[in-house]
Amino acid sequence: MGWEPIRKRHTGAVRPNLADYPRSRAEFSWDSARRQLAGLPGGGLNIAHEAVDRHAAGPLRDKVALRCRDRGGHATELTYDDLRRATNRFANVLRSLGIGKGDRVATLLGRVPELYVTAIGTVKNTSVYAPLFSAFGPEPVRERLRLGDVRVLVTTPQLYRKRVEQLRESLPALEHVLVIGDPPPGTRSFAAEMALASDEFTIPPTSPDDMALLHFTSGTTGKPKGAVHVHGAVLAHHVTAAYALDLHTDDVYWCTADPGWVTGTSYGIIAPLTHGVTMIVDASDFDAHGWYEVLQDEHVTVWYTAPTALRMLMRSGAELAKRYDLSALRFVASVGEPLNPEVVVWGQEALGLPVHDNWWQTETGAIMISNYAAEDIRPGSMGLPMPGVEAGIVMGDGERVVEVTDPEAVGELALRPGWPSMFRGYLHDDARYAKSFLNGWYLTGDLARRDPDGYYWFIGRADDVIKSAGHLVGPFEVESALMEHPAVAESGVIGKPDPVVGEVVKAFVTLRPGHEPTDELRTELIAFGRRRLGAVAPKEIAFDQHLPHTRSGKVMRRLLKARELGLPEGDTSTLEVGR
Ligand code: ATP
Ligand code: MG
């Protein structure tokens, strides 16, 4: 849509890890990349050893691994050795409770140090870590604890009383609840258990194929699924963070993802620690001033965030960004939703840096398609497949699929199985897992196209794509075009059934401050859309300052559609309330 590519000049002081994409891609193999990991002293592979113990045994021993800011801005620091000892203690706590290999341990917590200790201590004990969003109400908590056969939950006394206490009887598998604070009846004190435990622990034999993580999908398209991941995934976490986030050991890294979804673990805990960086953790909710303050005061160098957050920063204006000293920042990346070209370019203007979009999903465990530090960015494109990842565009009839090689053809984005962080199952749903693979491809459920130079462009989720008067309309393209209008902060686009054209395109639009939802503006936006998009432009526009988002920051188009059509809303457990 006329966006100029952003050319990369290598003026930065830091040499990109992926300096020559075509060459690295040609030479890469997961087998040789494995040498970047340490492995357990007696053989085998355990995420906790790669993330923490190996650094604690070397020159990074006293380096700050985690700097956790509470809501008041007060920070608690843990070095790699602190983290080694704390996670040893937690592994011993689990052992004393009779929790062993493969047993599930969940957190229902915000961004507090104990979450990180629980996550790593759990996998250290060869148990399985399952994070839950702290904002979940009782039903979503029950559903996931039950689906995951969770035996231990770590939470706060407040969350326990509000969300869990009333469910206890219906969750016979949930044997132990550890709380951070004074324990209500039926729970134990996390701190007291930790104080009793030894800080020495030897990681039991762990195979790369042992289950390590259980992640629930975001529930954007329906009921969340429990994706199973193994210890071997750490290789993909490590390599992709080097390439897609350009992480170097000296970086100060901030990942704003909620710890309740997969990004919060893969890139909010594991990958950065395997690189030995200092990680900033900030407990507060989104606030433009507060976020710029974190970037400035913590001298963040690499920042991994999401389109919704960037759109909200954009809404607050480039001038605000310029009031802060963001000179330490050298790399910005985004994931979770299509990143509008407008936002990529805004990054250049407001932060002095373009935003690097990348694509992956709970099932892939790690970034699969990405923009890179040394490669030109085509605003609106998700970028190029990671070295070691083979992607394709396929078409089929449900019985079989074939790859389509002609450029620009729209089809389902598919991946060749074999990367180390590929999910190994949907828990208790083997049939669904089996259905995700066809003719040697893993089918992602997303539609995309690939341009002649191999860049991938997101069209939409297979479920969201609109068929209107013979055209296939990807909501993202329409949303991005609308965002080019100065009044539009964000939008969500759906297809509304229509007897004549199949579906008409309808856009729900959030306005920027200073703009009123008038009929004139509506008419103007429809005309604006028509000029940009022609036949696929929205015919209807509704103003909505509170588009429904998932907790992981995605616009829930299926909910917009259900509400529009007066249909049941379906599973809304991951709906973010109050924004
Ligand atoms: P569910 O599977 O329960 O419907 P979900 O697919 O939103 O939820 P996640 O695994 O958290 O759950 O999200 C992955 C999806 O997010 C991708 O399949 C894709 O649709 C979308 N996504 C992630 N990153 C990008 C991106 N950079 N551009 C476009 N879409 C993206
Ligand atoms: Mg999905």
Strand order through the sheet with 302-305: 75-79, 64-69, 278-282, 252-255, 302-305, 331-334, 355-359, 369-370, 384-385
Q: What is the pLDDT of residues 484-521, one digit of tens each?
A: 999 999 999 999 988 888 889 999 999 999 999 999 99
Distance (angstroms) between ligand 2 centre and the Cα of 445 equals 7
State the ligand closest to the CA atom of 336. Answer: 1
In this structure, which amino acid lies at residue 277? V
State the ligand closest to the CA atom of 357. Answer: 1
The listed CATH number (3.40.30.10, 2.60.40.720, 1.10.3720.10, 3.30.300.30) that belongs to domain 466-565? 3.30.300.30
Give the HSE-up count for residue 271: Cα atoms under 13 Å, Cβ half-sphere. 32
Kindly compute the dihedral angle of the four CA atoms of residues 451, 456, 457, 462, in this order, to the nearest 10 degrees: 120
Chain mean position to CA 58: 30
Long-range contacts, 435-442 (Cβ 8 Å, 24+) = 436/363, 438/396, 438/400, 438/401, 439/394, 439/396, 439/400, 439/401, 439/402, 440/416, 441/392, 441/394, 441/401, 441/403, 441/414, 441/415, 441/416, 441/417, 442/363, 442/414, 442/415, 442/416, 442/417
pLDDT of the residue at 85: 98
Cβ count near 344 (within 10 Å): 25
Q: What is the pLDDT of residues 361-380, one digit of tens each?
A: 999 999 999 999 999 999 99
Distance (angstroms) between ligand 2 centre and the Cα of 108 equals 22
Residue owning the nearest CA to atom 17 of ligand 1: 361
Cβ count near 378 (within 10 Å): 22
- Contacts of residue 159, Cβ cutoff 8 Å, sequence gap at least 6: 108, 109, 134
Distance (angstroms) between ligand 2 centre and the Cα of 338 equals 14
Domains of the chain: which residue ranges?
21-390, 466-565
Please name which of 270, 264, 259, 327 lies closest in space to residue 295, comparing C-alpha atoms.
Answer: 327
- 131 CB within 6 A, ligand 1: no
Q: Please give the residue that has the higher pLDDT: either 536 or 450.
A: 450
Over residues 108-127, mean pLDDT = 98
Residue owning the nearest CA to atom 5 of ligand 1: 218
pLDDT of the residue at 401: 96
pLDDT of the residue at 492: 95
For the record, the structure tokens of 139 come out as 């039903």
Three-state DSSP class for residue 157: helix
Closest-lying ligand 1 atom to the alpha carbon of residue 444:
18
Long-range contacts, 572-576 (Cβ 8 Å, 24+) = 573/136, 573/137, 573/139, 573/140, 573/143, 573/219, 573/224, 574/133, 574/136, 574/140, 574/218, 574/219, 574/220, 574/224, 574/550, 575/548, 575/549, 575/550, 575/551, 576/135, 576/548, 576/549, 576/550, 576/551
Distance (angstroms) between ligand 2 centre and the Cα of 446 equals 8
Q: What is the pLDDT of residues 299-327, one digit of tens each?
A: 999 999 999 899 999 989 899 999 999 99
- 436 CB within 6 A, ligand 1: no
Helix segments in 275-409, DSSP class H: 288-297, 307-315, 318-322, 341-350
For 441-452, b/e burial (b = at least 16 CB within 10 A) is: bbbbebbbbbee
Q: What is the pLDDT of residues 544-579, one digit of tens each?
A: 999 999 888 889 999 999 999 998 888 888 888 754
Which of 225, 361, 423, 556 has the most ligand 1 atoms within 8 A of CB, as the residue to mutate? 361
- 464 CB within 6 A, ligand 1: no
Cα distance between residue 21 and residue 526, in whole Å: 41
- Contacts of residue 399, Cβ cutoff 8 Å, sequence gap at least 6: none
pLDDT of the residue at 306: 93
48-57, 170-179, 217-226, range with the lowest pLDDT: 217-226
- Do residues 363 and 437 make contact, with C-beta atoms less than 8 angstroms apart? no
pLDDT of the residue at 93: 98
pLDDT of the residue at 408: 86
Residue owning the nearest CA to atom 2 of ligand 1: 217
- 362 CB within 6 A, ligand 1: yes
With a cut of 80, say whether residue 120 has pLDDT above it: yes
CATH topology of 21-390 equal to that of 466-565? no
Cα Rg of the chain (Å, integer)? 23
For the record, the structure tokens of 51 come out as 């993330």
State the ligand closest to the CA atom of 446. Answer: 1
Over residues 430-445, mean pLDDT = 96
Q: 235 pLDDT band (50/70/90 cuts)? A: very high
Distance (angstroms) between ligand 1 centre and the Cα of 415 equals 15
| DSSP H or E stretch at residue 24 | helix 21-27
Closest-lying ligand 1 atom to the alpha carbon of residue 382:
27
Does the domain at 21-390 match CATH 3.40.630.40? Answer given as: no
Strand order through the sheet with 104-108: 188-189, 176-179, 150-155, 104-108, 128-132, 211-216, 226-230, 425-426
Q: 178 pLDDT band (50/70/90 cuts)? A: very high
Q: What is the pLDDT of residues 450-484, one digit of tens each?
A: 999 999 999 988 888 888 877 778 888 899 999 99
Residue owning the nearest CA to atom 11 of ligand 1: 218
Cα distance between residue 57 and residue 490, in whole Å: 48
Query: Has this prediction a pTM greater than 0.85?
Result: yes
The three state secondary structure string of 80-131 is HHHHHHHHHHHHHHHHHCCCCCCCEEEEECCCCHHHHHHHHHHHHCCCEEEE
